[in-house]
A and B are shown apart, each in its own frame.
Chain A
Amino acid sequence: MTLRLATDRPLLIPYVTGGLTPDWTGYLLAYQDAGADAIEVGLPFSDPMLDGTTIQQASDRALQRGATPGAILDDLAAMRDRLHVPIIVMTYANLALKLGVARFAAVGVTGLIVPDLPLEESAPLEAETEAAGIDLILLAAPSTPDDRLAEICRRSRGFVYAVSVMGVTGERTTLAPAAFSLARRLKDELQARLPVLIGFGVSTPEQAAAGGRAGDGVVVASALMRRVLDGANPSDVRLDVVALRAALDGGESAAQPYAEISGDRR
């Protein structure tokens, strides 16, 4: 399986912190069942520099439970037959570089997001992931100047992750205006070569719908993890994802079908 996000509807990528609860893989099935196009799995890191309170708490709780990157990947491997949607791993450079690309490939991970690995540092991992058939998804931020933005669009695989706000991950009451201008710039640059996914602060179905109209879809993390931290089980959170899905599908979509997506190597 490779990361393939060709679709004619706005994309929905919900997130779960690996190892957060004993039955954390149940959230993967719930997300899939609720209509996720792919699922982002966070490998908890002791020093999550780009994460706000919610993901920090989720990471801390997972680590306190004894979650390790290796055990989380093993859990993913065990789920392989039951998961039909692509799995994208999000983690920090120290863990990603230590684990190595082969380890991700071995358990069927098809995409990788490493938020503290900017263009200046990402070339070696780009080459390794390319060789292993994994898409290294690069991030663009509102502060990214045009020349860098073009370079990010050129080198990113799978999709381009649009960081909606100058800040850390976390729920916000509205989708930042910067999200819309960044999504526009990315779409202009990409000309439908890759989808643009908006993340950071996409919390409600309304925000998801707005993100789906501005870009090609959204990543939703903190809002879901807040629910899990508060005790929501997979079937509870499934309903949240169903609502996000419905809002995205009901919105006017600017998304285009992608004839050919990098990473589709079937």
Chain B
Amino acid sequence: MTVSAAPRSGVMREPADGGRFGEFGGRFVPESLVPACAELEEAFRDAWSDPAFRQQLDMFRTVYAGRPTALTPAWNLSAELGLTLLLKREDLAHTGSHKINNVLGQALLARRMGKTRLIAETGAGSHGVATATAAALFGLQATVYMGERDMQRQALNVFRMELLGAEVVPVTSGSRTLKDATNEAMRQWVAAVDDSHFCLGSVAGPHPYPWMVREFQRVIGEEARRQVAAELSTGVPDVVVACVGGGSNAAGTFAGFADTAARLIGVEAAGGAALTNGTPGVVHGSRSLVLQDEHGQIAEAHSVAAGLDYPGVGPEHAQLNRSRRATYVTVTDEEVVEAVRRLARTEGIICALESAHAVAWVLRAAGTDELPRGSTVLLTLSGRGDKDVMQLRAGVTA
């Protein structure tokens, strides 16, 4: 990893003052939390320019999280579709998804800031498990807020978190899902800012989170850029595709290719498509595109993939959409379930329902004007499907 070579301005570099990505982003938090956000911004800025911190993070990424993750050509599916499809295997990272990248960075930062506890929100449980994992490794306490409904849907992940020593707190307000868990985590953070770090799981929330989390996920895109260059004579792929809920794996992936000619495609769940169907709004600390009713009440998202069951999206994606640097599309639950099966049968990889959104788009678009035959595609497989097999077996689609 090159530290000093990274330019500070440009697409997917530092946001403008106040954490702005065009008209999106910002820091819409209660006054009580402003000093904590400012302290975090300063600490991140300091750590991120400190080679010792970067080396330490690299070490944990390598010997603990299993990075770099493999780039696997999808040989059989490529042949069937008439494409060159390359899979960035975040499913092979420790804890089974890209979430560990962000959490290792934030936990190290929390320790550097002298915090003793991590507070986190989780939807499907992947971020909660990753947070509990990093907390165990670094000797921090972890309290994870999870919607009561999600706790029922993802009971196994609740057990995993508890096994790792984390406290999982059910959230019974609102829709009892990820958005309510996020509200509750922020409420608890207000009361515990002195000793606790809010370990937010996506590129959402108040400044500096969208920027910081993207930087911690940038490793996906930077690794993939090098790996793809070795694989393709063209150096960069025609298309880079990733699923988008809050958008952290997509942001990390896109960051590695923002300065290339590659088309960037984000795939949302049809029932949680803030970029496709949302309107500008303020939720969870930043201005972005949000699913909301005419009065401004935040809507509930609905997706087969609990990790994409979120009515908002990271503000940088809203800006990439506005500037047309990235294109955002949707796929349905049915297409997603079919994509899991197809990838499993053709490549022997059971991917997460979230990641299958990206696969589903490739399956649909292949051979059309959107994705002509002969195209080269990098697809980030953000997580593995172990957590979803019970749901798939039960035939549950929402």
Task: Say whether B284 contacts A49, CB under 8 Å.
Answer: yes
- Is A168 among interface residues, defined by CB-CB distance under 8 A? yes
User: Chain A nearest CB: distance from B71 CB in Å?
Assistant: 39
- Is B186 among interface residues, defined by CB-CB distance under 8 A? yes
Task: Say whether A118 contacts B29, CB under 8 Å.
Answer: yes
Task: Say whether A168 contacts B296, CB under 8 Å.
Answer: no
Task: Say whether B191 contacts A47, CB under 8 Å.
Answer: no
Contact flags B283-314 to A (C-beta < 8 A → 1, else 0): 11100001010011110000000000000000
Known contacts A120-B18, A166-B190; is A93 also within 8 Å of B297 by CB?
no
- Is B218 among interface residues, defined by CB-CB distance under 8 A? no
- Is B384 among interface residues, defined by CB-CB distance under 8 A? no
Task: Say whether A120 contacts B27, CB under 8 Å.
Answer: yes
Task: Say whether A97 contacts B282, CB under 8 Å.
Answer: yes
- Is B391 among interface residues, defined by CB-CB distance under 8 A? no
Known contacts A143-B36, A168-B187; is A121 also within 8 Å of B296 by CB?
no
Chain A residues whose C-beta falls within 8 Å of the C-beta of B298 in the assembled complex: 46-47, 94
Known contacts A94-B281, A163-B31, A168-B190; is A47 also within 8 Å of B179 by CB?
yes
- Is A205 among interface residues, defined by CB-CB distance under 8 A? no
Task: Say whether B281 contacts A98, CB under 8 Å.
Answer: yes
- Is A204 among interface residues, defined by CB-CB distance under 8 A? no
Known contacts A68-B295, A94-B292; is A49 also within 8 Å of B187 by CB?
yes
User: Chain A nearest CB: distance from B38 CB in Å?
Assistant: 9
8 A Cβ contacts from B1-37 to A: 18, 26-36
Chain A residues whose C-beta falls within 8 Å of the C-beta of B47 in the assembled complex: none
Task: Say whether A121 contacts B26, CB under 8 Å.
Answer: yes
A48 to B298, alpha carbons, bound, how many Å? 11
Chain A residues whose C-beta falls within 8 Å of the C-beta of B183 in the assembled complex: 47-49
Task: Say whether A63 contacts B297, CB under 8 Å.
Answer: yes
**Contact count band on B:** 20 to 34
- Is A250 among interface residues, defined by CB-CB distance under 8 A? no
User: Chain B nearest CB: distance from A36 CB in Å?
Assistant: 25
- Is A56 among interface residues, defined by CB-CB distance under 8 A? yes
8 A Cβ contacts from A26-74 to B: 45-52, 56, 60, 63, 68-70
- Is A167 among interface residues, defined by CB-CB distance under 8 A? yes
Known contacts A98-B281, A143-B193, A166-B191; is A50 also within 8 Å of B30 by CB?
yes
8 A Cβ contacts from A113-156 to B: 115-121, 138-145, 148, 152
User: Chain A nearest CB: distance from B210 CB in Å?
Assistant: 15
Contact flags A212-227 to B (C-beta < 8 A → 1, else 0): 0000000000000000
Task: Say whether A118 contacts B31, CB under 8 Å.
Answer: yes
**Contact count band on A:** 35 or more
Task: Say whether A144 contacts B296, CB under 8 Å.
Answer: no
Task: Say whether B32 contacts A163, CB under 8 Å.
Answer: yes
A143 to B39, alpha carbons, bound, how many Å? 12
A140 nearest in chain B by CB position: B31
- Is A102 among interface residues, defined by CB-CB distance under 8 A? no
Task: Say whether A60 contacts B30, CB under 8 Å.
Answer: no
Task: Say whether B187 contacts A52, CB under 8 Å.
Answer: yes
Interface residue from B18, B33, B35, B283 paired with A94 (Cβ < 8 Å): B283
- Is B49 among interface residues, defined by CB-CB distance under 8 A? no
User: Chain A nearest CB: distance from B202 CB in Å?
Assistant: 16
A118 to B26, alpha carbons, bound, how many Å? 10
- Is B62 among interface residues, defined by CB-CB distance under 8 A? no
Known contacts A60-B174, A68-B295; is A49 also within 8 Å of B186 by CB?
yes
Interface residue from B18, B35, B193, B283 paired with A47 (Cβ < 8 Å): B283
Task: Say whether B173 contacts A46, CB under 8 Å.
Answer: no
Chain B residues whose C-beta falls within 8 Å of the C-beta of A92 in the assembled complex: 282
Task: Say whether B28 contacts A141, CB under 8 Å.
Answer: no
A142 to B26, alpha carbons, bound, how many Å? 22
Chain B residues whose C-beta falls within 8 Å of the C-beta of A145 in the assembled complex: 35
A120 to B28, alpha carbons, bound, how many Å? 8
User: Chain B nearest CB: distance from A150 CB in Å?
Assistant: 14
A163 to B33, alpha carbons, bound, how many Å? 12
8 A Cβ contacts from B184-206 to A: 186-187, 190-191, 193
Contact flags B266-291 to A (C-beta < 8 A → 1, else 0): 00000000000000011111000010
- Is A106 among interface residues, defined by CB-CB distance under 8 A? no
User: Chain B nearest CB: distance from A90 CB in Å?
Assistant: 12
- Is A95 among interface residues, defined by CB-CB distance under 8 A? yes
Chain B residues whose C-beta falls within 8 Å of the C-beta of A63 in the assembled complex: 297
User: Chain A nearest CB: distance from B186 CB in Å?
Assistant: 5
Task: Say whether A168 contacts B191, CB under 8 Å.
Answer: yes
Chain A residues whose C-beta falls within 8 Å of the C-beta of B28 in the assembled complex: 93, 116-118, 121
Contact flags B347-367 to A (C-beta < 8 A → 1, else 0): 000000000000000000000
Nearest 10 pairs of A and B residues by beta carbon: A141-B32, A98-B296, A167-B191, A46-B297, A93-B282, A141-B31, A94-B282, A95-B296, A46-B298, A94-B296
